[in-house]
Structure 1
Amino acid sequence: MIDAVTLAWAVAALLFFLSLWPSDGTPARRQRNTAAAGIALLSAAAVYGMDFINMPEIVGALVIGAALGLLMAREWPYHRLFVLMTGFAGLAGSAAICAAAAVWLNPYAFGLIDQGSDGIATRHMVMLVMTMSTGAVACGAAFVALIGRGVSSAALLALAIGMAGWSAAALAFLLQNIGMVAAGGLAGAGGAVLALRLWGRARGRGIADTGRGP
């Protein structure tokens, strides 16, 4: 029997996927609203699945973060928001690398050593390598976007966000945190698709044009 939290994650993933699916007849506002609905549903499922002991801290962080985000989106000029978002994407990649390094240095604390084995299992090592590699790509893309500030900077920012999301998803899969896997996977998919669309637009072609003639 599927519980409510798992069902909410599945519906949120479907909504987010639909918002990213290229369609000539779908208004951009509807796609944004669909993505916002998926994010809201995913956030609600994450809060619902948390321990009620930490609920005040979680709700407080959500309120403060939403208020600051709304204030910056309304008042800050675009170039400052770009720098801020790029920095956050790079920091997210760095955080994933540091977390993976901590897991690698002390695997016993995270239960990554199989019974009768002296080292980290191969499946866990694969997830660690994926976490570190995607986190490194996120840091590199964010750094290049900050120093380049060219036409492809927006695509590099999207790539950094996507790689940071994939890095978080790989780390969450390693630690068996299903909620974080869903959130990181959605961020990774969204960033990757947006980066491809931006690079395609810079070349006069987008994902929706794939398979069409020149």
Structure 2
Amino acid sequence: MMEGVNATLLAGWSLAALLFAAALLAPLGGGLRRGAHLASAAMTVAAAVTLYSHDVMALPQICAALIAGSAVGLALGRGVPRSALPSLLGGFGGLAGLAAVFLAGAAWRDPHAFGLLDEMTDRLRMDAAAAIGVALACGAMACAGAAAILRRGAAWRHPVIAAATLPATGGLVGAFAASPDLLRLLGCIAVALLAGWAATTSALRSGTGPALALAGGFAGWAVAASAFFLENMPMVVAGGLAGAAGTLFRARLCGSAGRKGLADAGRRP
């Protein structure tokens, strides 16, 4: 069972998630500088919450990781052109999804180390298996979405493919939750990669913004599912907020692009 929710941690992770979600809209309307500021603020809040939530014995390792990550981010920010920042943000989202895939795989491989075994049957609990399946699927879709944004792939843009593979991914997640074996794990990842690529390339028809929001939403849901089986309730809320924001932003941006296209067509003779 999850521990009681710390209100300070919950507020901090929620604020960081909302700031990250707002940064997804940076490429729209020439707001790259504003998006960079929002992303910096989100990382600052996330770092502060991380330091607050962990034991002081681990403080040197945490500070070393933060310094190394900040140095890499600063080098990338100074060396990458502004026009490439959306792709860079998409790549970071893909890395978050990849981390969720590896974490979920480790939890499936050794559930005892994560405290996920049922005391009565000594098998992986069904709720933990479902969370692992969701983390695997959403993490794989985030990876594929980031790759589609970076490659600007033109293949599989037909929405029927996305409409078919997304429910198939959900079905495989359910099958994995019922019987978490290796074959279903690999099938879930494979179909999720196809679904993420198809959905993101379909969103690219409306611009980079909707595709970036969709990939970020996948990463947010992967983080939320990973935090669930890690029993970290504040991160569950933060990841869920980021996932919901990315999904809603994608729907809103695609809808705006569609209405703009209809308006432009109506003005033509």
TM-score, normalized by length of structure 2?
0.59
Question: Could you say what secondary structure the match of 1:114 adopts?
Answer: coil
What does residue 149 of structure 2 align with?
145
Q: Are residues 131 and 48 of structure 1, via their aligned partners in 2, closer, same or farther at CA, if it must alter by over 3 Å?
A: same
Over the matched positions of the two proteins, sequence identity in percent amounts to: 38
Partner of 1:9: 10
Q: How does 1:133-172 map to 2 (within 5 A)?
A: 133-148=137-152, 151-172=206-227
The one of the two structures with greater contact order (alpha-carbon pairs below 8 A, sep at least 6) is 2
Residue 63 to residue 200, structure 1, CA distance change in 2 (3 Å): farther
What is the aligned counterpart of 2:236 among 181, 189, 195? 181
| Cα drift, residue 174 of structure 1 | 0.6
Q: Could you tell me how far 1:170 is from its partner in structure 2?
A: 0.5
Q: In the alignment, which of 42, 61, 66 is matched to residue 62 of structure 1?
A: 66
Within 5 Å, give how 1:18-37 maps onto structure 2. none
Instruction: State the partner residue of 2:258.
Output: 203
Task: Please say if residues 9 and 42 of structure 1, whose CA atoms lie closer than 8 Å, have aligned partners that are also in contact.
Answer: no
**Equivalent pair of 1:5/1:49 in contact (CA under 8 Å):** no
Separation in structure 2 between the aligned mates of residue 36 and residue 85 of structure 1, nearest angstrom: 12
Alignment of 1:35-184 (within 5 A): 40-148=44-152, 151-184=206-239
Number of aligned residues: 196
> Which residue in 2 is equivalent to 1:211?
none
1:171 CA displacement: 1.0
Unaligned residue ranges in structure 2 (runs of 5+): 23-30, 154-203, 261-269
Moved more, 10-19 or 108-117: 10-19
Deviation, 1:83, is 3.5
d(CA) in 2 for partners of 1:30, 1:8: 26
Unaligned runs of 5+ in 1: 21-27, 206-214
Residue 125 of structure 1: how far off its partner (Å): 1.6
Q: 1:35 to 1:16 in 2, by over 3 A?
A: farther
Kept in 2, the 8 Å contact 1:155–1:196? The answer is yes
Q: Which 4+ residue blocks in structure 1 deviate beyond 6 angstroms? A: 28-36
- Opposite residue 127 of structure 1, the aligned amino acid is A
Computed over aligned residues only, the root mean square deviation of the Cα atoms, in angstroms, reads 3.5
> 1: CA distance between counterparts of 2:137 and 2:55?
32
Q: Could you tell me how far 1:79 is from its partner in structure 2?
A: 4.3
1:137 positional shift:
1.6
Q: Answer yes or no: is the 8 Å Cα contact 1:167–1:184 preserved in 2.
A: yes
Give the Cα separation in 1 of the matches to 2:151 and 2:84: 14
